[in-house]
A and B are shown apart, each in its own frame.
Chain A
């Protein structure tokens, strides 16, 4: 860290900002130069290293009822002070306050590109909602250990600002593991250096198993969220309309919706008769998916999506074919995103009405 005093903006609610209790929970943003209310305690811990140049205060209800707008306002107010660091809370067990701290830190981190740190307790809903987006230090429910929490927040914030050549992280970030530095896991995977090679660790692990010992896998076991099969369609098949959905990345040649070959987050619906006429030319398609060998699909897209077979069945009156085909690309995309896309597609199918079943083809 250089000798320069860092500029800090601190966000607190109406109560910690000494504006009043629940009766003042509706107040809008107030900006005070310097440290005010509980920000004074934070300034004490920061000492000479950093100066709280502004304290932002906002009522919990106002924030909770206008989350997007309030996050934007707070970020704009903070930006005026050109901060190097942003703190919010601690919110401890206070739900609305926790949500505000999380939302504001998320907005500050993504728009101002500076480290933002807040703190709250396990059961605060802010943890569930924002622990992936910002650093949330773990606290008790009550304010008893305020100083301790502030200390952890400050330590973490300074680590986020520095590089450490001795860090075990390949990225050389000074950051410790969530358990070491007291924050909630952010749901990212990082590379660390370890003493033993993978070969040594692997042989050790296998020998331990052969001795009958319990071993600690380097990858946690899958959770038992077993997919529940959809119930069978109740109508006779010839009355059912079937839609085709695939994550094989088949798109028109120019990929108008910008599906990505890896880590894709978008899907698109195409009208089958236009997208895939009876007499198609394989030159008109592309595959936005880098995880499988796509030549066979490009030669004949029927190999990925059974347009031909379904059309034939529809002509014979065996089923009805939904006129739109839904395409996405599933390759190294986070499960959360996949679930969101799946729900989106399902919603869209429902809105179109009449769809009774879906054939999903993957690669």
Chain B
């Protein structure tokens, strides 16, 4: 499987009467885009706004951030299962826009919290999105559309818009090209260690009203057994983020830091043996079974010498992750696990206690995601208004307050569970 991602740099987005790319400015015709998005009769209208670095703007009710991408060949599918037909992602050519995103809001959702994105101040400085331009989409539901139905409609609209933007760059020269091809290395002769990646795709503990979010090829994964997929599938739209932001967005999956790092070292320091995916479980016997199957796939199918394991936000999935890692260690596979820390006060050891089985000696910490920070007042609010509540465990606050006290995992692009951030938590 060979994937080529052709990146076109975008420096400016502007709403215009026609959609086209000129130099590095992407002109977008919002009425044309809206017309296409309204083909979904769950959506009544869509508000479009452009946010640029330095604008004193806060985007609230944020549910995803998506990099504009499209496939070149009509035989291949964009975000299969969401936008295009269900086809295996990960091969052929993909056009990708660099420096801009689709920032997707849902002000209709009554979930207790949503993400936030500032284009100014400390919030922008800390976020990977702080220096990018964003097309903010805020769709409005049609009458009688249920909350859940609209969540899916909004997600689809966001992904569709991302494809629409990328299409404008289809025939433009790429500024850079990345190749993803595991077959470029002759495995059999290599003496390099074989390294697998075990990716927890989902945790059902936060399921909203008891329903899992669809994320893989348009469907949910809660009941899946561990299986193997090609890393290119993840990079190329098979996987999207769940319906809320918790230290992860679709953008982070499209630019999966750990998969990219393993590719970078493939054939040089290691052989990238493959990716195992699974979902965390609330049921101890299923957890146990997941650990057995995942470790067996790593050992008996991928013949891994070492394995890296990432998880999602939350305490409970630490148990699933640690069990898989322990099962791998029992089969002689060396493991390194990535955890985030999540209790205020206390020490590092305590904050990571769920991940500290005595057999696991190698832990990467991706930071203290519940660490709080202050954001100052925004001049303009998109995706909601000054009265939009901003989640805080201890008190009520609103988007237009003079100061917002927020846990960092809710600010899009600050933390990254899959290896992209440069943050580590330390005892002080």
Interface of A toward B, CB cutoff 8 Å: 170-172, 175, 177-178, 185-203, 205-207, 209-210, 215, 217-223, 260-263, 290-293, 295, 331-337
Contact = CB atoms under 8 A, between A and B. Distances in A.
A219 B339 contact: yes
Nearest to A183: B428
Contacts of B349: 219-223
A198 B308 contact: no
A175 B428 contact: yes
Contact of B371 (A191, A193, A295): A191
Interface string B179-193: 000000000000001
Contacts of A201: 364, 424
A215 B360 CA distance: 11
Contacts of A292: 205, 282, 316
B365 A219 contact: yes
Chain B interface size, as a band, is 35 or more
Contact of B419 (A178, A187, A202, A221): A202
B293 interface: no
Contact of A221 (B193, B308, B356, B426): B356
A295 B209 CA distance: 7
A47 to B, nearest CB: 28
A363 B305 CA distance: 34
A195 B421 CA distance: 10
Given A170-B371, A189-B348, A203-B270, A198 B419 contact: yes
A191 B338 contact: no
Contacts of A209: 306, 334, 336, 361-362
Interface in B282-329: 282, 305-308, 314-316
Contact of B393 (A196, A197, A207, A260): A260
Chain B's interface: helix, strand, loop or mixed, by majority?
mixed
15 contacts: A170-B373, A170-B423, A172-B122, A178-B428, A187-B346, A188-B344, A189-B426, A191-B425, A200-B261, A202-B336, A202-B364, A206-B336, A206-B362, A291-B205, A293-B206
Given A219-B356, A334-B346, A190 B425 contact: yes
Contacts of B394: 260
B159 interface: no
A333 B343 contact: yes
B365 A187 contact: no
B191 to A, nearest CB: 12
A262 to B, nearest CB: 5
B363 A217 contact: yes
Nearest to B353: A222
Given A197-B421, A201-B424, A261-B393, 9 more contacts: A189-B425, A189-B428, A198-B365, A199-B419, A202-B308, A202-B338, A203-B308, A217-B361, A293-B204
A197 B348 contact: no
Closest 3 pairs (CB-CB, A-B): A199-B419, A334-B346, A199-B261
Nearest to B334: A209
B74 interface: no
Given A189-B427, A190-B428, A210-B305, A291 B420 contact: no
A172 B422 CA distance: 15
Given A219-B352, A221-B361, A199 B422 contact: no
A115 to B, nearest CB: 14
